[in-house]
Amino acid sequence: MDGLEKEGLFVFRNLDDTRALLDRAAPGKRAVVIGGGLLGLEAARGLQVQGCDVTVVHLMDTLMERQLDLTGGSYLKAKMECLGVKVLLERSTTAILGNGKAEGVAFKDGSSIAADFVVIAAGIRPNVELGRKAGLEVNRGIIVNDYMETSNPDVFAVGECVEHNGTCYGLVAPLFEQGKVLAATITGNRGPLYRGTIQAAKLKIMGVDVFSAGNFSEKAPGTDAVRYEDPALGTYKKLTVRDGKLAGVILVGDTSESHRYMDWLRSQTDLTAMRRQLLFPGPADDAGLDVAAMADSKVVCGCNGVTKGAIIHAVHEKGISTLAQLRDSTRASTGCGSCTEVCQQLLKAVAPEFQEEAKKSLCKCIPFPEDKLREILRSQRLRSVQEVLEIYGNGVGCEICKPALSYMLDMLWCGDHDEDRSARFINDRVHANIQKDGTFSVVPRIRGGVTSAKELRRIADVAEKYNVPMVKITGSQRIDLLGVKKADLPQIWADLGMPSGQAYTKGVRMVKTCVGTDFCRFGVQDSTKAGVELERRLENLYTPHKLKMGAVGCPRNCAEATVKDIGLVGQEGSWQVVVGGAAGKKVRKADLLITVESTEEALQAATLFFQYYRENANYLERTYDFVERKGIENVRRDTVYAPLAIQQGLRERLRKSKRISRDAWLEGDAPRHPTQFVQIESLEKVQG
Amino acid sequence: MNNKQWIRVTAMQNIPLREGRSVNVAGREIAIFNLGDRVLAIDGRCPHKGGPLAEGIVTGSTVVCPLHAWKISLETGSISKPNENPACVATYRTRIESGIVLIEVPEASQEMEERSLSCGEQNRACLGDSPSPVL
């Protein structure tokens, strides 16, 4: 290949390469990735997620030809193209074009394509230089025997640089197996022996499930191929069976059974009796059976070398009941994630109170559970709803995912993102609550329900001036002006001179208070002041669902704080902070989060829970469902009893959001769009 | 019977991308939507409970009524949710001329006649008038 000295040419091998690539990648840049194997495809997708226009160039007639047959390759190609990565097959690259810097790639057939930079992800060769200098026997890799000894018995080698029995391995799993053998050898044992590894590969691109293991060629005598494919679903499965045993497997689009097939491959299970159920094993009688049959010494997490025995030990010793705890404790399932399913099954089988985390996707448009989506948005630094939908969804979205994604972006980036109003419900476009006749309602903020004669007079004036059809005291100690025309909103807000009460949105509604100690004979805590302060600290922020709070000055609970999302319940000398209460669709008494002495501590605990809810609840999940799902014990552990650094993290992120948040009604003076509140009149009138 | 006229309605830039705006044209409340590569126009009110369709969330070439989430095709006026719904919304042909949106509406004298058409017939009529792309 010519032109390899040019600037703008990258390889993709180590962390520095990746950093250099990330520096170069930018929206709109044209990237050409040479090599359509695992590495090339993963690099291509990584660049495309950064906004690059990516083309993968591959020498062979199918992508990942070492792992896939022609059909499997075509399914994979369709998936990559569906994500927006272009694929050129059977192109032999002859030169990197450009004057000093890479500007394109030329092919043997005379054609060429333009590029802003080029990534070479092909032709990985074992790094054998050291072995050669040391005088070891070297073929393609450094030759080793079954004890991992090189030609010099005092020198050992493992990993990608070695050649064992004619094979060089380019993946991590063989290294782990070699490492175990080497450990035995250098501690003076002769055995176990390394007998080679069944090659298995999984493509690590979210949403493109590809798994391949063993030998998928159908040509060997006595080999049958068992196939299933569904182009509409993008699913392709093929097993090669030789002498009644599994020889190889290809899975595209659905890799959920990869562990079962890997087991069959490794154990060389006789499949004769299972011939009818090879591709559709159906629901197992007992999900625990597979994992029960697994030996304790079997490695479940290959990345971190965690055995089944270690997992069971941790479950019993440390009372683990969730996957998250298992990850913290053993590091199992924290690497590539491919053993997550097995870890879940193990937990189900041995942890008495294992709760499977609900994994419901948000909607059909974007098939990821919400926690995964938040992780994607954060890690991929996605900052607009449309961008997320185009990269990870169907490009269109719906009335469920668009507002949900809008919320997530706001929560994660605190205003440092593209707030696309078209993705939001009408209420959030005009900051008022749409009514059945298309008019709107206006609820100004009256913190803690405390108002003044002056404010009430202004509200009354506005009601008269704009002929507001109904003025109503709400159940939240506020005043609602109902039946307002959209075009009147900005002027009404200006005349009111009060901030938005956010009564139209999934956000901080209010803090209902009782009269506390100022006038009440029974009050033991100043709930009015505490409530006003709590409202002031959290107002103008958005939440996964509406959030209503209450503060009461004694256990008589006159402002019903124990059925609010967050409640402060005053007692002699202390406050109870309660969360997850409800008096709506559902009635639920709030759980006690913590009891503290000072008002400031109570406010701190409440705001800690607030931010925790913002970051971890699913969209449209009220605190009462959230707290029930998480369990109050876990909520306490993750908030008020969390390590200081975690608490500080929550506080810092809340502070950041709060700093950027502003009263939405200020938009009345400076609309986002010239016709945001305007009723458009036709330019041309028609004679009637 | 088929006398129609093109009416200059408003500047294209008055309708934000993937949003709708309501406008009164010849006594009708019409909702106009900016889909980026084209502008589509339908009757402004949902056949369900009269929700203002211009205020709905646009998903692809469909608008979701803000009141009860009926989904209405901006191309055909048909309703995809709830399923198998015979109701429909009239659509209007549109075009863009030097940045101005034009909508084709029946002449005033036609109006009474057309309004009296049953929904099915009206739907067929609007299906025939497929929206034109932005020029």
Assess A643–B contact: CB distance below 8 Å, yes or no.
Answer: no
Average pLDDT, chain A: 91
pLDDT at A473 over 50: yes
Burial of B132 (0-12, 13-18, 19+ CB in 10 A): middle
On chain A, the residues whose CB falls within 8 A of the CB of B29 are none
pLDDT of residue A303: 77
CATH number at A34 reads 3.50.50.60
Quote the crossing angle between the two packed helices A38-49 and A15-24, to the nearest 10°.
40
At residue A287 the predicted structure's pLDDT band, cuts being 50, 70 and 90, is: very low
Q: In this complex, do B66 and A682 lie within 8 Å of one another by their Cβ atoms?
A: no
pLDDT at B50 over 60: yes
Distances B106 to A687, B7, B17, B113, B130 between C-alpha atoms, Å: 12, 10, 27, 10, 15
**Domain of A105?**
9-120
At residue A505 the predicted structure's pLDDT band, cuts being 50, 70 and 90, is: very high
Assess A521–B contact: CB distance below 8 Å, yes or no.
Answer: no
Q: Which helix (H) or strand (E) holds A481?
A: strand A479-484
Please state, for a pLDDT cut of 90, what percent of chain A lies above it: 63
User: Rounded to whole angstroms, how far apart are CA atoms A441 and A281?
Assistant: 57
Q: Which of A328, A404, A429 is nearest to A643 (CA)?
A: A328
The reply to whether A154 and A69 lie within a common domain is no
The reply to whether A523 and A600 lie within a common domain is yes
Cis amide leading into B82 (omega within 30): yes
The reply to whether A640 and A547 lie within a common domain is yes
Pick the residue with more confidence: A548 or A175?
A548
User: Rounded to whole angstroms, how far apart are CA atoms A113 and A97?
Assistant: 9
* Average pLDDT score over residue span A632-640: 91
pLDDT at B120 over 50: no
pLDDT of residue B94: 96
User: Rounded to whole angstroms, how far apart are CA atoms A26 and A41?
Assistant: 18
Nearest residue on chain B to A688, judged by CA atoms?
B108
The reply to whether A113 and A139 lie within a common domain is no
Nearest residue on chain B to A437, judged by CA atoms?
B51
List, in sequence order, every residue forming a beta bridge with A200; answer none if it has no partner.
A213
Pairing of strands A299-301, A306-307: antiparallel
pLDDT at B115 over 50: no
Q: In this complex, do A396 and B60 lie within 8 Å of one another by their Cβ atoms?
A: yes
Q: In this complex, do B21 and A422 lie within 8 Å of one another by their Cβ atoms?
A: no
Pair A57, A388: CB distance under 8 Å: no
pLDDT of residue B109: 52
pLDDT of residue B135: 38
Of the partner residues A397, A423, A682, the one whose CB lies closest to the CB of residue B7: A682
Cα distance from B60 to chain A (closest Cα, Å)?
Answer: 5
Pairing of strands A470-473, A479-484: antiparallel
Assess A399–B contact: CB distance below 8 Å, yes or no.
Answer: yes
Q: Which of A681, A486, A422 is nearest to B11 (CA)?
A: A681
Q: In this complex, do A421 and B8 lie within 8 Å of one another by their Cβ atoms?
A: no
The reply to whether A109 and A149 lie within a common domain is no
pLDDT of residue A114: 95
pLDDT of residue B128: 37
Of the partner residues B26, B50, B57, the one whose CB lies closest to the CB of residue A402: B57
User: Rounded to whole angstroms, how far apart are CA atoms A242 and A232?
Assistant: 30
At residue A93 the predicted structure's pLDDT band, cuts being 50, 70 and 90, is: very high
pLDDT of residue A375: 87
pLDDT of residue B81: 79
Asked, for residue A325, whether it belongs to a domain, the answer is: no
* Average pLDDT score over residue span A403-417: 91
Assess B5–A contact: CB distance below 8 Å, yes or no.
Answer: yes
Q: In this complex, do A429 and B67 lie within 8 Å of one another by their Cβ atoms?
A: no
Nearest residue on chain B to A684, judged by CA atoms?
B8
The residues near B60 (Cβ < 8 Å, ≥ 6 apart) are: A396
pLDDT of residue A288: 53
The reply to whether A85 and A145 lie within a common domain is no
The reply to whether A655 and A512 lie within a common domain is yes
Dump strand ranges (E) for A23-156: 30-34, 53-57, 86-88, 93-97, 104-107, 112-114, 117-120, 142-144
| Helix residue spans in A566-598 (DSSP H) | none
Pair A147, A162: CB distance under 8 Å: no
pLDDT at A282 over 90: no
Q: In this complex, do A684 and B9 lie within 8 Å of one another by their Cβ atoms?
A: yes
Residue bearing tokens 């909508």: B103
Calculate the dihedral angle through the C-alpha atoms of A108, A110, A111, A112, rounding to the nearest 10 degrees.
Answer: 70
On chain A, the residues whose CB falls within 8 A of the CB of B16 are 421-422, 673, 675
Asked, for residue A454, whether it belongs to a domain, the answer is: no
* Average pLDDT score over residue span B26-50: 94
Output the CA torsion sign for A576, A580, A585, A586. negative
Burial letters A642-669, b for 16+ CB under 10 A, else e = beeeebeebeebbeebbeebebbbebbe
The reply to whether A48 and A157 lie within a common domain is no
The model's pTM is 0.65
Residues 668-687 of A with CB under 8 A from B: 673-675, 679-684, 686-687
Assess B44–A contact: CB distance below 8 Å, yes or no.
Answer: no
* Average pLDDT score over residue span A98-118: 94
Of the partner residues A426, A673, A688, the one whose CB lies closest to the CB of residue B66: A426
Q: In this complex, do A434 and B66 lie within 8 Å of one another by their Cβ atoms?
A: yes
Taking phi first (over 0 means left), then psi (-120 to 50 degrees means alpha), and beta for anything else, what does residue A188 get?
left
At residue B108 the predicted structure's pLDDT band, cuts being 50, 70 and 90, is: low
pLDDT digits (tens, 9 = 90+) for A127-185: 899 999 999 999 999 999 999 999 999 999 999 999 999 989 887 888 988 999 999 99
In the Cβ-directed half-sphere of A12, how many Cα atoms lie within 13 Å?
A: 26
User: Rounded to whole angstroms, how far apart are CA atoms A548 and A564?
Assistant: 6
The reply to whether A27 and A113 lie within a common domain is yes
At residue A550 the predicted structure's pLDDT band, cuts being 50, 70 and 90, is: very high
Assess B19–A contact: CB distance below 8 Å, yes or no.
Answer: yes
Say how far residue A14 (Cα) sits from the centre of its chain.
24
Q: In this complex, do B9 and A682 lie within 8 Å of one another by their Cβ atoms?
A: yes
Would you give the DSSP letter of residue A604? H
At residue A656 the predicted structure's pLDDT band, cuts being 50, 70 and 90, is: very high
Tokens of B107: 């002449």
> What proportions of chain B, in percent to the nearest 5, are helix, strand and coil?
20, 45, 40
Q: In this complex, do A436 and B49 lie within 8 Å of one another by their Cβ atoms?
A: yes
On chain A, the residues whose CB falls within 8 A of the CB of B57 are 398-399, 402-403, 422-426
On chain A, the residues whose CB falls within 8 A of the CB of B21 are 675, 680
pLDDT at A381 over 90: no
User: Rounded to whole angstroms, how far apart are CA atoms A287 and A82?
Assistant: 34
pLDDT at A540 over 80: yes
Pairing of strands A112-114, B78-81: unpaired
Of the partner residues B26, B55, B58, the one whose CB lies closest to the CB of residue A434: B55
On chain A, the residues whose CB falls within 8 A of the CB of B18 are 420, 422-423
Assess A421–B contact: CB distance below 8 Å, yes or no.
Answer: yes
On chain B, the residues whose CB falls within 8 A of the CB of A679 are 22
pLDDT at A289 over 60: no
The residues near B70 (Cβ < 8 Å, ≥ 6 apart) are: B46, B47, B48, B51, B64, B79, B81, B82, B85
User: Rounded to whole angstroms, how far apart are CA atoms B89 and B92?
Assistant: 10
Q: In this complex, do B64 and A399 lie within 8 Å of one another by their Cβ atoms?
A: yes
pLDDT at A292 over 50: yes
Asked, for residue A308, whether it belongs to a domain, the answer is: no
Q: In this complex, do A438 and B10 lie within 8 Å of one another by their Cβ atoms?
A: no
Q: In this complex, do A686 and B51 lie within 8 Å of one another by their Cβ atoms?
A: no
The residue ranges of every structural domain in chain B are 4-128
pLDDT of residue B110: 53
Q: In this complex, do B16 and A422 lie within 8 Å of one another by their Cβ atoms?
A: yes
On chain A, the residues whose CB falls within 8 A of the CB of B27 are 686, 688
Assess B99–A contact: CB distance below 8 Å, yes or no.
Answer: no
Of the partner residues A397, A673, A679, the one whose CB lies closest to the CB of residue B16: A673
Of the partner residues B8, B51, B52, the one whose CB lies closest to the CB of residue A683: B8
Cα distance from A364 to chain B (closest Cα, Å)?
Answer: 13
At residue A221 the predicted structure's pLDDT band, cuts being 50, 70 and 90, is: confident
Tokens of A554: 């004694």
Please state, for a pLDDT cut of 70, what percent of chain A lies above it: 97
Asked, for residue A226, whether it belongs to a domain, the answer is: no
The reply to whether A165 and A47 lie within a common domain is no
Asked, for residue A178, whether it belongs to a domain, the answer is: yes
**Number of Cβ pairs closer than 8 Å across A and B?**
88
pLDDT of residue A116: 95
Q: In this complex, do B64 and A683 lie within 8 Å of one another by their Cβ atoms?
A: no
Q: In this complex, do B24 and A681 lie within 8 Å of one another by their Cβ atoms?
A: yes
**CATH T-level fold of B4-128:** Rieske Iron-sulfur Protein (2.102.10)
User: Rounded to whole angstroms, how far apart are CA atoms A122 and A66?
Assistant: 12
The residues near A678 (Cβ < 8 Å, ≥ 6 apart) are: A487
List, in sequence order, every residue forming a beta bridge with A583; answer none if it has no partner.
A587
* Average pLDDT score over residue span A519-539: 96
On chain A, the residues whose CB falls within 8 A of the CB of B44 are none
The reply to whether A95 and A49 lie within a common domain is yes
Q: ∠ CA A92-A95-A100 to the nearest 5 degrees?
A: 155
pLDDT of residue A329: 85
Highest mean pLDDT (candidates A334-348, A367-381, A542-556, A622-636): A542-556
pLDDT digits (tens, 9 = 90+) for B57-101: 999 999 999 999 999 999 999 998 777 778 899 999 999 999 999
User: Rounded to whole angstroms, how far apart are CA atoms B135 and B57?
Assistant: 25
Q: Write down the ipTM of this complex.
A: 0.84
Domain-ending residue, one of A120, A137, A169: A120
| Helix residue spans in A208-334 (DSSP H) | 258-267, 287-293, 308-318, 323-330
The reply to whether A513 and A649 lie within a common domain is yes
User: Rounded to whole angstroms, how far apart are CA atoms B53 and B30?
Assistant: 9
Asked, for residue A323, whether it belongs to a domain, the answer is: no
On chain B, the residues whose CB falls within 8 A of the CB of A399 are 56-57, 59, 64, 69
pLDDT digits (tens, 9 = 90+) for A450-464: 999 999 999 999 999
Q: In this complex, do B67 and A423 lie within 8 Å of one another by their Cβ atoms?
A: no
* Average pLDDT score over residue span B104-124: 54
Assess A317–B contact: CB distance below 8 Å, yes or no.
Answer: no
Pair A641, A568: CB distance under 8 Å: no
Assign B40 to helix, strand or coil.
Answer: strand
* Average pLDDT score over residue span A471-495: 97
Residue of A424, A426, A434, A440 to mutate, interface with B, max B Cβ within 10 Å: A426
The number of folded domains in chain A is 4
Would you give the DSSP letter of residue A663? -
Would you give the DSSP letter of residue A627? H
On chain A, the residues whose CB falls within 8 A of the CB of B60 are 396
Calculate the dihedral angle through the C-alpha atoms of A379, A380, A382, A386, rounding to the nearest 10 degrees.
Answer: -130
Dump strand ranges (E) for B26-89: 28-34, 39-43, 57-59, 62-64, 71-73, 78-81, 85-88
* Average pLDDT score over residue span A266-274: 86
Cis amide leading into A444 (omega within 30): no
Asked, for residue A543, whether it belongs to a domain, the answer is: yes
Pair A370, A618: CB distance under 8 Å: yes
